[in-house]
A and B are shown apart, each in its own frame.
Chain A
Amino acid sequence: MEIEEKLSVLNYKTDKSYAHITVNLDICETCPDRFCTFGCPAKCYTVIDNRLNFKYEDCVECGTCFFACSHGSVKWTNPKGGHGVKYKFG
């Protein structure tokens, strides 16, 4: 099963005006390990044409990328106002 299929069963209340995680792509450009792309269980971090690509909309708010990035690129905050993933089971 692909990640898209697994995430498609989830409910999100996406905050279109606020990205709770931001990434400094200038830092990622020269990153030697890109551990975020192996760590993130929702595959929010992918490499396309050797460039890092990030989408916060699929984030399940685990916090892995925050400590996975040891180069100071990932800035992590909690979504605001009840936005983000909404688990039914947990």
Chain B
Amino acid sequence: MSEFDAIVVGAGPAGSSAAIRMANKKLNVLLVERADPPGSKNVSGGILWGNALAEIIPEWEKDIPLERLITHKGTTFLTKDSSISIDFRSTKFLENHSGYSVLRARMDNALANSARKAGAMVVTGVTVDRVAKEEGKVVGVEQDGEIITSDAVILAEGANPRVAIDSGLRKPIGDQDVAIGVKQIIRLPENTINERFNLKGSEGFAGEYVLSYLEGEAEAGGFLYTNKDTISIGAVISSSKLREDGQTHSYDIMESFVQHPHIAPLLEGGKLEEYSAHLVCEGGIDSVPRIYGDGYLIAGDAAGFSFSNGLMIQGMNYAITSGIAAADTVIEAKERGNFSSDSLASYERKLEDSYVLKDLKNFRNIDKVTWSRVTHRAIPKIAENLLYSMYHETGRPKKHLMQMILESSRDSGMSKSQLILESYRMMRRM
């Protein structure tokens, strides 16, 4: 007889959602979190698309600490001299909420509290070393030589899944699976943020950036989100490109972003409150390991569930939805009294029916768009040259559009045929 119906490792959005769901169904749940308090190890480079939360926390917009409702989105190419943006504002975002900026130390602590209120036992400051196995079946978790038993274990330990790796339940992460995320929190008065980003009240701005001014092989994206009285700004750096480059430091990429002539004025006078780093799942469907087996399930970032296409980065909603699906699978398995791999296989079917695996499968190879010379060098260069030629009067005869495109593509270091082929592939993948 096991001590718990289920043990959940990790109190982030995936783990706490799973714990809440199972506790609501009167399962005996232990939620183990290595941070104390929960959330104090967690960092996000994304916006919370909270609709998934409504299923377990109906009043989530009141119960979870949210920063600002995003009403203003931007996608920007930054070259050394220029900033080229698609700026999107919509009053539709006020009716159909597009997402909120959040601070994870606060949000995750509240989620863990919700799990506690729902009836789960929450222990913090406890590090699980590996799962406990008996005849190949997962029967609980092990920490400091002590075994706690359960019928099912849900691993929701995030993008650096030590327990899953050290237990042999997934292969170690590599360059192809993760990007390096670096982030800063900058404090500014609320009204200064509103003025600089042209926002009213609690409206928020979320911007994604292509840092095309980087030199060598290095490629990185950036993000900037407004919180109530702070700004979250960060860089997401391709691991494989940074390795290929072999000269650029991840720290310097972050620093160059905040010091960029078109970014620095937005942060001017702000006080650095936090510097952080976290891995970002970027590998898509090819990075997803086997997500269930005898006595265990893997959810959230630990399973590689996140999505980025350059226009947006999403992970928390995938975490929440997969956590709930894992919980429902355990609830059904308990009804059957069967926690074997066959019995837990419905987890994958649930995710295949939801946007989680549909998105990842539909956008296989999207990383070849988000991380490509076309996106990071050619398009920004062409756009910069075109716009500069159009907006700037030289006193010389004007050139035709096509001539400018061809000249700009040469500047970007790509041949015409390369550019055409790569652009075609890109449109297909997006």
* A82-B124 contact, Cβ under 8 Å, with A39-B250, A66-B160, A89-B105: yes
Partner of A89, one of B35, B174, B185, B254: B185
Interface string of A55-72 (1 = CB under 8 A from B): 000001111101110000
- Name B182's closest neighbour in chain A (CB-CB): A41
Q: Using a CB-CB cutoff of 8 Å, which residues 22-80 of chain A contact chain B?
A: 33, 35, 37-43, 60-64, 66-68, 76-80
Is B419's CB within 8 Å of the partner chain A? no
Q: Using a CB-CB cutoff of 8 Å, which residues 1-41 of chain A contact chain B?
A: 1, 3, 5-7, 9-10, 33, 35, 37-41
Is B293's CB within 8 Å of the partner chain A? no
Docked complex Cα distance between A84 and B162 (Å): 15
Q: Could you say which residues of chain B place their CB within 8 Å of the CB of A43?
A: 249, 251
* A35-B181 contact, Cβ under 8 Å, with A79-B127, A88-B40, A89-B105: no
* A60-B276 contact, Cβ under 8 Å, with A3-B251, A35-B246, A78-B34: yes
The reply to whether A38 and B172 contact each other, CB–CB distance below 8 Å, is no
Is B412's CB within 8 Å of the partner chain A? no
Q: Label chain A's interface by main secondary structure.
A: loop
Docked complex Cα distance between A1 and B246 (Å): 22
Q: Using a CB-CB cutoff of 8 Å, which residues 112-126 of chain B contact chain A?
A: 124-126
- Can you give 25 contacting A-B residue pairs, CB < 8 Å? A9-B273, A10-B274, A33-B243, A38-B245, A38-B249, A42-B251, A61-B160, A62-B180, A63-B159, A63-B173, A64-B277, A66-B173, A78-B127, A82-B35, A82-B126, A84-B41, A87-B42, A87-B43, A87-B104, A87-B274, A88-B105, A88-B274, A89-B185, A89-B274, A90-B105
- Name A20's closest neighbour in chain B (CB-CB): B127
Q: Using a CB-CB cutoff of 8 Å, which residues 240-284 of chain B contact chain A?
A: 242-243, 245-251, 254-255, 272-279
The reply to whether B272 and A67 contact each other, CB–CB distance below 8 Å, is no
- Name B232's closest neighbour in chain A (CB-CB): A89
The reply to whether B180 and A9 contact each other, CB–CB distance below 8 Å, is no
Is B211's CB within 8 Å of the partner chain A? no
Is B175's CB within 8 Å of the partner chain A? yes
Docked complex Cα distance between A25 and B104 (Å): 36
Interface residues on A, range: 35 or more
Docked complex Cα distance between A63 and B166 (Å): 14
The reply to whether B279 and A90 contact each other, CB–CB distance below 8 Å, is no
Docked complex Cα distance between A86 and B247 (Å): 30
The reply to whether A89 and B41 contact each other, CB–CB distance below 8 Å, is no
Contacts from B to A (Cβ < 8 Å): 34-36, 39-44, 103-108, 124-127, 129, 144, 159-160, 162, 166, 172-175, 177-178, 180-182, 184-185, 230, 232, 239, 242-243, 245-251, 254-255, 272-279
- Name A88's closest neighbour in chain B (CB-CB): B105
Q: Could you say which residues of chain A place their CB within 8 Å of the CB of B172?
A: 66-67
* A41-B272 contact, Cβ under 8 Å, with A61-B41, A63-B173, A64-B277: no
Docked complex Cα distance between A52 and B99 (Å): 44
The reply to whether A90 and B162 contact each other, CB–CB distance below 8 Å, is no
* A82-B125 contact, Cβ under 8 Å, with A1-B255, A88-B105, A90-B276: yes
Q: Could you say which residues of chain A place their CB within 8 Å of the CB of B274?
A: 9-10, 87-90
The reply to whether A90 and B180 contact each other, CB–CB distance below 8 Å, is no
Q: Could you say which residues of chain B place their CB within 8 Å of the CB of A39?
A: 180, 239, 242-243, 250
* A78-B162 contact, Cβ under 8 Å, with A41-B182, A62-B181: yes
The reply to whether A79 and B272 contact each other, CB–CB distance below 8 Å, is no
Closest 10 CB pairs of A and B: A82-B125, A63-B160, A90-B104, A82-B36, A90-B105, A6-B275, A41-B277, A62-B277, A89-B185, A86-B40
Docked complex Cα distance between A60 and B175 (Å): 19
Q: Could you say which residues of chain B place their CB within 8 Å of the CB of A79?
A: 34, 127
The reply to whether A82 and B185 contact each other, CB–CB distance below 8 Å, is no
Docked complex Cα distance between A80 and B180 (Å): 23
* A89-B279 contact, Cβ under 8 Å, with A41-B254, A61-B41, A82-B125: no
